[in-house]
Structures are given as C-alpha cells and as structure tokens.
Structure 1
C-alpha cells in the first residue's frame, strides 16, 4: 500500500499546477466493481479514492454494473455503481446500458466534473455477440470551452464487430460540433487492422508519448488494449501514463491534453 501511495504521489507531482485549458482524462475498466486479485472483494473504495486523488475532468469506465444480482456477493445491497461513485466523488455521472444482465444492467459509465447532453450511441454487431454502446457527454471546462467525450468497450470476440463499431464511432464523431476525445477498452492491439484503420488525424496518446506499457493483465505478460484518442487538429498531448494500481485486471490510463488555439 505504501508503494501505491508513493506512485500516486509521484504522478501528482509530475502533473504540476497545469493550465486552465488542459484537460485531464482517465479511462478504466473496473471489472464490474470486483477486485480480480481477491475474488468476492469489492474494489469500489479504492477506485473512488483514486478518482478523488487524481481529479481528472472526465473519466470513462468500462464493465460497469447497475443493480445486478452478482453485486449481492460484493455489496450488502445490489448497487448502481455510477450513482454510488457520484455520491462518493462529487462528480456528475452517466450510465450507458449496453445490455440487460442478471436482473440489472451492464455497460459504460462516465464521470464528469461538468457536462450536458449525455447520451448513448448503440454500436453495430454484424457478427453477433454481446451488445455494445458508447456513452457520450458534452463536457465543459472552467474556461467555458466545451468538448465531446465518449467512452466505450468494443467487442472482445469478432474483429468484424470491432471494425464496424470503430466506423460507427468515427462517423458519429464527425457530426459533432465541438472537439472530440474518446477512450476505452477497445480489445485490439496497436499492430491490428482495427488500429491501423483509424484515420491519421486521430492520435492515440500512448503511441504519441512513446509509452507502450501494457494496460491489461500483468505488466510483463499482458496487452495494450486501453486507449485515449484525440483529434490532433484540435488538441495536443501534454502527458500520458499507465497507472500501476492492482484494483482491476486492467490499469487506469491517464492523459493530459491541451486545446490548440484556433486561428480565425
């Protein structure tokens, strides 16, 4: 535990005071609120404390449960995870249900300091498998600049699903009237056809930072499948990190972006 606090303290020190136009982003697959290293042990308090400590403007969460039966083994009562995180962290929250599961819902979550126009985009599944969605919000900074932020969890079974889901996300992003950032557990690696299919003006923070650390599994025997993508015509990368905490089978992925000054 002492090691974890030292790691997080180092991250906070490296962040510095920042700039009002800088946007701190986190994406995290939270394994439905359970610590996979300690079965039937909730990870809620650790992840909510992490969010309060790091204070990103926007957080994308994957594998989020809402009022499911399996939570009865983890919590005294079935839990709406996003509602509980809102209560504990002070963020505003949104749950985008991908599917019914065990008496409740399962899907994507967003935590946002300030936002509006929360909505869920249903994603295609041409090969079948689990339903997938993307949760969206129009987020607002203290400087009143606005941007769209989306969080998703793409298909883990079929490449044709992932490709169709990516096409849907990118097509939708082009219709939005503010700069766009999107993130999540995408279930493909950087050498995949899916990754290569993304247009070059979309930049992936880890690759741009030259940090190819695994985001899933063990650091030495895992995979890099969790990403933060941004429109490089609108943003520039300031910082990127994979945060080494053992609360899920994934690691939180962190980036700081800066809005570019737009010429008239």
Structure 2
C-alpha cells in the first residue's frame, strides 16, 4: 500500500512538473505569406493555413497581408487565417492599397493583453511595427523597408521601444537584410538572433536569409533556447516559414 502511494505521488509530481514546463514552452513562427499567393501564382488561404497548422506555433508574425482589397476580392485575409487556424489575430495596416489596406499581422493561441502599431520608415512604401503584449512577454512583428538607411532607422526605433518594455521581448519578421549586413549587426547589439541562418527566399530555391526571430539580450540565456529551423515549404508563398522553440524564463 505504501509503495503504491509513493508511486502515485511520484506520478502526480512528475505530471505537475511537466504541466508547468509546458506552460513556459513557446513555439514562434515568422512567415511572409505574400497574401496567400504561392509560387504557382495561385491564391489559396487554406494552403497557407495548412502550413501554419502543421507546425502548431503558439504565435506567428505574418507579413504581406491584404485587408479587403480588390486584389483579394474584398476578403479580410488575416481574419480568414484566424478562422482556419483557430488563433486570435491582430492586424497592423501599413498603407492604403487597392481599395483596402496592406500590412502585417499576428496570429496567436493566447489572446494579447494589449496591441498597437507604429509607423516605420520606408521610402518605397510605408512600413509598420506591430506590438503585442502577452502575459509573459512582448512580441514585435516587422516587415522592413528594402532600403538600408530606412532599415537601420527602423532598428533604432525598435531599440527605443525595447527600452520602454520590462517583459521579455521577441522581434520577428522579414527584415529584407542578410545575416552579415549592417542592419542585422545593429539588431544584434540589443537582440540575440535565435533563428537559423538557413536561406528563406525564394521559397522554391532559397538563396537568401532575410527572415529572422530574435530575443532581447536582457532575457536571453542559452538554456532557454531549444531549436530553430526553416520549414521545407517550397510552394505556398515566395518565402519559407521560420520556426524557433524557446522556454520562457
């Protein structure tokens, strides 16, 4: 009887330990979806959602998303992806486009406590920084300009935002910059890049790494990092998704 009790209590403690551990596990994805248009030039939001659902991320930074544009047949793309993935959404419009809006978005299993966005520089088109606060962390979603000067200014603005925040801060998105560029060098002064340096663009035959996920250096400890990889998805968009697994402190 005593042995059974000890076995039972051990099982309870192990289950409790695993439950607490899993609560702190976080899988982050960044995915430039090109508005659901694949390399075959077909628009298919279900295909985009299937890529996301296959890897069960807790949070996804999504770039190049239309909102009720003529191009998307007046469909609210992020809302449809939210329904198809069963995740909460937040949309950050960057510009007026084709009768609607065009910008970045967020999908998350946990409902954000607070969301906002702010303009970032972009001389070819306006850019935007998406900000979402959760219980244990803050998430920043970006799609930076194609111009290096604008990119560096954007990194400065992200660092200014970081200085205001007390929780762990992740930043993820399409930076349009290579790993050894001045832009990523500036990012690394305040953030630890967690994502793989494997190429992410173009999706069918990747030759450039321009999509990243990073964690602020105040929070980063090597024991928190679990895994990172670029998803082998050559068709659903012109970018491949990037995934990072971490354990929150």
| Shorter-chain TM-score above 0.5 | yes
Return the offset for 1:220. Answer: 5.3
TM-score by length of 1: 0.80
Q: Tell me which stretches of 4 or more aligned residues in structure 1 moved more than 3 Å.
A: 218-221
Instruction: Select the structure of larger CA radius of gyration.
Output: 2
SS of 1:177's partner is coil
Residues 81-112 of structure 1: per-residue CA shift (max 9 Å, x gap) = 11111122211101100000000000000001
* 1:45 equivalenced with 2:40 (yes/no): no
Residues 173-217 of structure 1: per-residue CA shift (max 9 Å, x gap) = 1101211001000000011111112244511113xxxx4210111
Alignment of 1:245-256 (within 5 A): 245=233, 246-256=235-245
Q: Structure 1: which 5+ runs fail to align? A: 1-16, 73-77, 141-145
One of 101, 108, 121 as aligned partner of 1:105: 101
Q: Aligned-pair RMSD on alpha carbons?
A: 1.8
Q: Is the 8 A contact 1:64 1:107 kept in 2?
A: yes
The corresponding residue for 1:239 is: 227
Q: Aligned partners of 1:134 and 1:238: how far apart in 2? A: 26
One of 154, 158, 164 as aligned partner of 1:169: 158
SS of 2:23's partner is coil
Q: 1:190 to 1:80 in 2, by over 3 A?
A: same
Q: 1:108 to 1:234 in 2, by over 3 A?
A: same
Q: Structure 2: which 5+ runs fail to align? A: 1-18
Q: Is the 8 A contact 2:204 2:238 kept in 1?
A: no
Q: Is the 8 A contact 1:213 1:219 kept in 2?
A: no
Residues 124-153 of structure 1: per-residue CA shift (max 9 Å, x gap) = 34xx2210001111123xxxxx10001110
The corresponding residue for 1:184 is: 173
One of 31, 38, 62 as aligned partner of 1:28: 31
TM-score by length of 2: 0.85
